[in-house]
């Protein structure tokens, strides 16, 4: 099976992880990165303009680039688009001329309100995909409203290779160890800085990795707990497993009921301490495979209980990872389900 994969190629990105999962399953993957191709057009004021206009002004350049790439691309069996925000309806019509199924996977919320302008072009392109994979229940009906041909609901994913470590043989570096860890940005209007301040005021010592925290009006108080900008690769995995507890904060504006952290934390050997939602409770047994809370005070209480009980922490940590594996939320699991939905055999089946 030969797949044309259109998405970010940075080795630290979840997009690249899904492309690598296809390779592990035996597919030949031709990876094209539209962000790299557009280069300086996406930086500075021009990048901000394109972001706020759904990348429609950039569409002719993206289409010309892809047309040139397709001319030197061998025959294909599948086109997989990850994210898809730079691909307009006209670009999808170009891809449809190849004559193979086209899949869109996007784990953001393109049909929600938070990033409505950013995904304007993507929404116009939805009818031209053979299969759209979404991670929010609300997206299913909304994509169908935008004339999606077929919609597959999925959980967000972890990577079976990138988020696994040989815990017995690889100690966590001291600078990546912590009592309570949060890895993520300080998004506007989400109140994450105020949330973490309540933990600090309660005597907890959260370690924060991520971008945008210096823009908080409370930066002076948060600064002693900030370990640095976003971490990736092995440092990211080590920061998760090196924490006694890992906070799973959600975005209300993005309609989150779970996030990639929901999967990546247990996969890396961490203990998920997340907001209580129906989806979190469907994924893990509360108090046995993960710990949940509904407000800062309950979070503080759960943290205090678990920080004082190492044996219980290790039990939950191990049970959470075992449950994650049973849930089959890996990138390889996702790819298999998509191929099956399209009626495509895996490369292994083809060789058999």
The CATH number that domain 2-157+330-351 falls under is: 3.40.50.2000
Domain ranges of the chain: 2-157+330-351, 174-327
Q: Is the pLDDT of residue 182 over 70?
A: yes
pLDDT number for residue 345 = 82
Each residue of 100-121: pLDDT tens digit? Answer: 999 999 999 999 999 999 999 9
**352: pLDDT confidence band, cut at 50, 70 and 90?**
very low
Structure tokens at 145: 């409203």
Radius of gyration of the chain (CA): 21
Q: What phi and psi values does residue 229 have, to the nearest 5 degrees?
A: -70, 180
Q: Could you say which DSSP state residue 345 is in?
A: P
Rounded Cα–Cα distance for residues 151 and 144 (Å):
7
- Count each helix (H run) and each strand (E run) in the chain, helices first: 16, 12
Structural element, H or E, at residue 96 = helix 89-96
Q: Is the pTM of this model over 0.95?
A: no
Q: Please name the residue that has the structure tokens 């049970």.
A: 319
Q: 2-157+330-351 and 174-327 share one CATH topology?
A: yes
Q: Which residues contact 147 (CB under 8 A, 6 or more apart)?
A: 126, 127
Each residue of 315-327: pLDDT tens digit? Answer: 999 999 999 999 9
Looking at domain 174-327, does it have CATH number 3.40.50.2000?
Answer: yes
Calculate mean pLDDT across residues 142-165: 95
Contact 41, 61 (CB under 8 A): yes
């Amino acid at each position: 099976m030969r797949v044309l994969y259109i998405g970010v190629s940075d080795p630290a990105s979840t997009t690249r992880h899904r492309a690598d999962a296809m390779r592990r399953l035996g597919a030949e993957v031709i990876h094209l990165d539209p962000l790299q191709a557009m280069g300086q057009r996406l930086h500075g004021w021009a990048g901000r303009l394109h972001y706020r206009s759904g990348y429609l002004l950039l569409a002719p350049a993206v289409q010309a680039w892809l047309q040139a790439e397709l001319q030197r691309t061998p025959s294909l069996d599948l086109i997989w688009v990850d994210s898809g925000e730079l691909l307009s309806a006209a670009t999808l019509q170009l891809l449809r001329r190849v004559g193979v199924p086209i899949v869109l996977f996007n784990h953001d919320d393109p049909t929600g309100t938070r990033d409505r302008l950013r995904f304007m072009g993507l929404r116009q392109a939805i009818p031209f995909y053979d299969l759209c994979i979404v991670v929010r229940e609300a997206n299913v009906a909304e994509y169908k409203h935008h004339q999606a041909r077929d919609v597959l609901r999925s959980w967000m994913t972890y990577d079976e290779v990138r988020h696994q470590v040989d815990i017995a043989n690889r100690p966590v570096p001291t600078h990546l160890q912590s009592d309570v860890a949060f890895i993520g940005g300080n998004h506007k209007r989400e109140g994450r800085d105020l949330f973490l301040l309540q933990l600090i005021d309660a005597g907890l010592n959260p370690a924060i990795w991520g971008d945008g925290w210096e823009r908080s009006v409370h930066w002076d108080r948060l600064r002693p707990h900030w370990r640095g900008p976003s971490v990736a690769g092995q440092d990211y995995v080590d920061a998760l497993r090196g924490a006694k507890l890992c906070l799973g904060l959600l975005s209300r504006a993005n309609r989150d009921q779970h996030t990639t952290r929901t999967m990546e934390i247990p996969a890396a050997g961490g203990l998920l301490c997340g907001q209580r939602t129906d989806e979190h409770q469907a994924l893990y047994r509360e108090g046995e495979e993960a710990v949940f809370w509904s407000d800062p005070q309950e979070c503080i209480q759960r943290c205090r209980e678990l920080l004082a009980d190492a044996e219980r922490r290790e039990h939950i940590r191990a049970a959470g990872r075992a449950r994650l594996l049973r849930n089959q939320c890996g990138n390889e699991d996702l790819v298999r389900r998509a191929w099956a939905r399209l009626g495509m055999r895996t490369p292994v089946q083809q060789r058999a």
